[in-house]
Amino acid sequence: MKAFGVIPLMRRYPELTPIVVDTLFLETGLAEVLALWSRLGDEPNDWMIEVQLQVSALIYMRVADHHQKEEYRLFLERRIAGFRARGRSSGLGVAYYNYGNFLSRTNPRAALHHYRQAARNEPSNFDRDYYHKEVGGLHFVLGNFNAAAASYKRSLDLNRDTRVLPLYADALMFAGRYRQALMTFREYMRCQHPRPARWDLKAGSLSVIVESLGIGRQRRHPRRADELADVGQDASTEESLARLQSALGADALSGPAWFNSGLTLSRMGDPERAFCCFVTSGLCQTGDLEAWANAFLLSISVHSLSLCRAQAVLETAYFFNGEKFVQTVYDDVKKRGPEFPKQEVMAALDSLVSIIAPKLAKVDSIELKAMADEGQPLHGWRLTAE
């Protein structure tokens, strides 16, 4: 195949690999690129070529059909089997790593297993900050928050990359280590400008938990908190607030407790505190479209809340939910009475979406390119959108 002729070129001039690989994907297609890839693994610079092939393949998989994804998956499995048969532990480590990276979006538990196998066969992974960063992301997705925090901390110990700081803070937050999480978010905010709005919102919610509720650290009991948060329709305002306070005492990240607190405070005529409750509910349950819609509509219709808060909420809600969030807001606005400024809110929403949606669409490709330029495999998505 004609692609094989470029292997000596890439081995001799590895700095040309990104250009060559991108051209191969565009001009020859997946099958020939995988055939070329299968010829690598025996020369000192082959690992550098494999890194670029991996990053390019991950980009290609974003638009690949089911047949092409399956073709790539089977190739990665054959790659592992081939290195095992040849007794090549170093090449096997790279093969396990690549397969783990491929699985990270669809099967994080299996991905974590392959990352561990990668380090077992190539111990130098333990000294690579990006390895611990990606393992931390997998632990986070699986709900192993203390393990995620430990992995992110190890990554930061190896390389003080500011992009890892909010991920570390996020893991600390969901591990119930709120004060430490808040301090880490504040460190990140001091050194990173501009930054994604969701990290500012999380720091704000944590400041309420730590400084207003007085909860610096907590062993979380989500089930107990959700039971207490179910206040019922017949409870008085005082009873509801007391019960919701107890719910947050059981788990300060109880989405239902924050959501119902928002509803209660709205009925009491306290939109600013209600706004904070709905935002925190959305951050605890990122797919809670109603919480995000309530937070956005409060931010845009209450004069004491600034437009920058509306933009921060919209950016964060759109990051997690895309057009589903926008449709939820539209549906909510349509149900409002004639006194509600429907046209103005719709216009503001459309204007903000036109600014934010393209910005978020670029994040994925920027992160991929950055990792390729640094000669590092891709950090998976929760893994992260940074």
**CA separation for the pair 4, 165 (Å, rounded):** 42
pLDDT digit string, tens, across residues 145-154: 999 999 999 9
Question: Residue 3: is its pLDDT beyond 70?
Answer: no
Distance between CA atoms of residues 230 and 217, nearest Å: 24
Q: What's the CA angle centered on 168, arms 164 and 173, to 5 degrees?
A: 150
Architecture of domain 200-364: Alpha Horseshoe (1.25)
382/111: higher pLDDT: 111
pLDDT at position 66, please? 92
As a whole number of angstroms, the distance between CA 91 and CA 72 comes to: 18
What would the pLDDT profile of 308-317 be if each residue is shown by its tens digit?
A: 899 999 999 9
Separation CA 31–CA 8 (nearest Å)? 20
Q: What is the pLDDT of residues 343-383, one digit of tens each?
A: 888 888 888 888 888 877 655 443 433 343 333 433 332 23
Distance, CA of 287 to CA of 150 (rounded, Å):
26
- In this prediction, what percent of the chain has a pLDDT beyond 90? 62
Mean pLDDT (the chain) is: 88
Q: What angle do helix axes 145-158 and 129-141 make, rounded to 10 degrees?
A: 170
Of the spans 207-216, 225-234, 297-306, which averages the highest pLDDT?
207-216
In the chain, domain spans: 200-364
Torsion of CA 44, 37, 39, 376, to 10 degrees: 10
Q: Residue 21 — φ and ψ, nearest 5°?
A: -65, -45
Give 241-262 pLDDT, tens digit per residue: 999 999 999 999 999 999 999 9
Would the CA dihedral through 140, 145, 147, 151 be positive or negative? Answer: positive
